[in-house]
Amino acid sequence: MVLGQVYEKSAKLVEAEKYYLEAYNLNPASELINYKLGALYFNSGADAQRILNDLKPTEKEKIKKYEDLVKTQFTKAIPFLKKAFELNSDKAYKQRIYQAYIRIGDTENAIKFK
């Protein structure tokens, strides 16, 4: 997991994901690993959202690409954040789950975490 953190801080997210997933496979009940994976996907989705917000309406192809990326990354974040929250009912975890559901347009599930 330490390598995952090193790569994440270096903005090498593919490598970070690889090492976090390896750690997860060794210990899927770890609050920290679940949170790190959830946060990695959440932050990636937030980064994609910022790029999407800056695109011009005429950039339809890029808009579609980033809309899909935003939805994919937030959707990937949710199960890991939910597991971390299940293991430790930290309000920050709950807030991130709520935000992820909002970002993918799932208000029905979002309100469960408000």
Residue position matching structure tokens 């899909």 = 68
Q: Are 35 and 50 in contact (CB under 8 A)?
A: no
The tens digit of pLDDT for each residue in 56-95 reads 999 999 999 999 999 999 999 999 999 999 999 999 999 9
Domain count along the chain: 1
The model scores a pTM over 0.75: yes
Q: Would you tell me the crossing angle of helices 13-26 and 2-9 to the nearest 10 degrees?
A: 160
The tens digit of pLDDT for each residue in 17-35 reads 898 999 999 999 999 999 9
Tell me, rounded to whole angstroms, the distance of Cα 32 from its chain centroid. 14
Query: What is the number of other CB atoms lying within 10 angstroms of the CB of residue 78?
Result: 21
CATH of the domain at 77: 1.25.40.10
Which ranges in 10-87 belong to alpha helices (H)? 13-26, 31-54, 60-87
Name the residue range of residue 16's domain: 2-113
